[in-house]
A and B are shown apart, each in its own frame.
Chain A
């Protein structure tokens, strides 16, 4: 696949992307038809806008990363399109805002491709990114600009626009971890202290892991954001494991995580609430478990094939467009729709890891792994939360949930993955041409 000529790949990308655009347009049509039996007058506007956004992104890739993977962009377009249809169906005002954010995100996608011409350029600024990440995570706590929405202090308000800097922080932190671990992975992997049968490295090398642990706990305590904390922590554990290939780190991560979770459960009411409603949501069906119970009812109402777009009652679930968008998909598109979304996410994640595996240099390899893991873990945390596999924590479903910051971050992640993918092929081609030149 990666050895196919660039032109073929871009052709495939265009074809798949057009399919995604058609799916979004038909979805929008169905939603409108469910309300009144006329073709909506703005169907062509929507269709044109979705098409234009995809084509713009596609042309940018053609121009700026011609050898990049051809599957990621169409899948992002599909998920983003489905997300827009679902959000617009739930609330047409939110739909308009989401459409505007999609445009901004595609712009950010193009700018990322323009600005980051070589991924290894980023490696140099690791500590700057660490600093940016920390600032972004802590910004909502700053008095004046920090805002509390729905009981979580995750927001920064500048004028009329509210932004969740935590979404960007994840990307910065992954970048830092990747660069840092590439430096230190030999040290971390060898280990010098023996505890029982496990070899552990010097504590000073465990710095970043402990830092992540501390930041997670801080977020949990001050911003009451369980999902973000869990995510950053798990991300750090996964990257440490991939960098060192030492299972011992997984054990350490899990132990630290459980300790933190145990302490949080003891100390914080909102953590206890999440666990109680996870264990028996129906006991709290009319108060703190209401949202989760309504979500489960939504899936049950959807059944195998769903009620059909626009024909269910997903608005029974409070905050359905953000944290519970997957429940709305479950109700109206059924098990089939849910599995389709999961398959699309898996294809995205699979392509991401494939890019990581094909990278020859350690930094892009680890960076791609981290970026892909954000998408994978975040999807699991929120879908698992709304389906009662794990306690519910509020994170967004990548590309689908309503929310500008999240959408923007996801499109930047996509641009970075495509950049790494393009670098991989460029590197191979460069080596090949050198070899050919050297041949007598």
Chain B
């Protein structure tokens, strides 16, 4: 019988080996599939009931925090947003029902303390089972956000203020906004009603216009046209252009008119300073198919890799290689109309690139991750995103932008004692609607530190009277003053 007993024993060992194989498959090989199976609520439940760190602005205001509650629901923590609508479109919210958006989503792991394990000091916490959290420190500033909010007032629009050297955003605000607090309450019906109300609001307060809405940039885009023309040697600052009131468009009976039907032209510098449409329409035609790759170097056609989720939308220009069949589009692109549609973030990045000697830095809204004891876990380091143009071209465009603020369309952006470089834009929209008022700028022009883009939709309070110089430039100046600490 012993031989048979040994065989039975071997049989049991074989069965156990099958079990070990299957266990390895479940816990290691197939684990990720199982974890992401739509029926699996384990991850969600554990995330929801783990303590979650704070989100704090660069100037120390708490934007998001978790409070321990026992309200009879399965949830142990309530997320709170003390700044209400001020950061809703960038910091976002974390809801069990609607998921996460913005910084709450991008830095989810950091907030849950999952990055803390990299830090040796936290090893005792891991063994004691104490749950650590992470704090996200924003580069955004509460004072800059508040200023943007009050400057826009009741007008719809966006303000994006960037650090030229690092790509860090100091302000990224758009009007109207919304209060995320009702979305995260533990009463699902209430949360759902609040969410639906915001979604159905015709003003789209949940839309982060600063990085997820595209507008025609109008003349503010002449910064890009001028850069591409200079770099491709289609023009020099001293090239002269005919003085005229309108430009005949090829392949069409339409013409491109100057603002207010005025007559303008002369050198590139003069044309830029007075924002002469005929000159830049002609440059668009002269550039032809070179224009599209030139724009691409500024990031048109590619979403800026900002640390927000959902991320920034891609800004658009004419299709590559389409010049032969749609030449008028290139004249319109020269003055930031037609197929050109950009986000306010993208225009701030254009200004930043010119200010930074042609290099556009990767934009970001967070600067550091810290642990619950305020110890630094990691920094979000600056890194270049695009090389838009050469330092020489950037310098030449800067000079033209200084002229705009000194003596051209952008004088409203002047700051006493500081040289500001800027460009206005007054972008046509639908025939019966007031134009969008734009201003892009940076300062100090000699050693740039901050870049800004402002848009006020459909002229805001000024309505049909609006121009970029009158409506948007003063807001840009206010933002730069705050950033530079100038009274």
Contacts and interface: CB of A to CB of B under 8 A. Distances in A.
A389 B19 contact: yes
A387 B29 CA distance: 14
Contacts of A285: 37, 39
A300 interface: yes
Given A245-B1, A301-B35, A346-B16, A353 B9 contact: yes
A334 interface: yes
A369 B8 contact: yes
A345 B33 CA distance: 30
Contacts of B18: 384, 389
Contact of B19 (A33, A342, A353): A342
B22 interface: yes
Contacts of A192: none
B8 A238 contact: yes
Given A242-B8, A335-B23, A297 B42 contact: yes
A83 to B, nearest CB: 18
Contacts of A297: 34-35, 37, 39-40, 42
Interface-centre pick from B26, B33, B34 (highest chain A CB count, 10 A): B26
Contact of A335 (B2, B24, B33, B42): B24
B23 A330 contact: yes
A330 B22 CA distance: 12
Contact of A313 (B33, B39, B46): B46
A365 B23 CA distance: 33
B233 interface: no
Interface in A318-332: 330
Given A33-B129, A285-B39, A380-B16, A335 B22 contact: no
Contacts of B3: 245
Contacts of A196: none
Contacts of A342: 16, 19-20
A362 B2 CA distance: 10
Interface in B403-445: none
B15 interface: yes
B35 A387 contact: no
If over half of B's interface residues share one DSSP class (helix, strand or loop), that class is named, otherwise mixed; here it is helix
B447 interface: no
A304 interface: yes
B41 interface: yes
A243 interface: yes
A373 interface: yes
Interface in A77-100: none
A346 B13 CA distance: 7
Range, interface on chain A? 35 or more
Given A300-B26, A301-B42, A311-B129, A380 B9 contact: no
B26 A34 contact: no
A350 interface: yes
B120 interface: no
B197 interface: no
A388 B31 contact: no
Contacts of A242: 1, 4-5, 8
A304 B28 contact: yes
B12 interface: yes
A380 B13 CA distance: 10
A335 B16 contact: no
Contacts of B28: 303-304, 335
A349 B12 contact: yes
If over half of A's interface residues share one DSSP class (helix, strand or loop), that class is named, otherwise mixed; here it is helix
A38 B41 CA distance: 30
Range, interface on chain B? 35 or more
Contacts of A220: none
B5 A356 contact: yes
Contacts of A366: 1
A389 B22 contact: yes
Nearest to A298: B42
A249 to B, nearest CB: 10
B6 interface: yes
A362 B40 CA distance: 52
Nearest to B9: A353
Contact of A243 (B1, B2, B27, B130): B1
B45 interface: yes
Contact of B22 (A30, A245, A346, A387): A387
A2 B238 CA distance: 104
A286 interface: yes
A241 B27 contact: no
A260 to B, nearest CB: 21
A316 B42 contact: yes
Interface string A237-281: 010011101000000000000000000000000000000000000
Interface string A181-212: 00000000000000000000000000000000
A242 B3 CA distance: 8
Interface string A332-371: 0011001100100110011001001100001001100100
A145 to B, nearest CB: 36
A346 B33 CA distance: 31
B121 interface: no
A85 to B, nearest CB: 15
Given A33-B128, A356-B5, A300 B12 contact: no
A303 B9 CA distance: 29
A135 B66 CA distance: 61
Contacts of A243: 1
Contacts of A356: 5
A388 B34 CA distance: 14
B105 to A, nearest CB: 22
Nearest to A299: B26
30 contacts: A30-B129, A37-B130, A241-B8, A243-B1, A285-B37, A286-B39, A297-B37, A299-B23, A299-B27, A299-B34, A300-B35, A303-B31, A313-B42, A313-B45, A316-B45, A330-B26, A342-B16, A342-B19, A342-B20, A349-B9, A349-B12, A353-B6, A356-B5, A365-B2, A369-B5, A373-B12, A380-B19, A384-B22, A387-B19, A389-B19
Interface of B: 1-6, 8-9, 12-13, 15-16, 18-20, 22-24, 26-28, 30-35, 37, 39-43, 45-46, 128-130
3 nearest interchain CB pairs? A300-B34, A299-B26, A285-B39
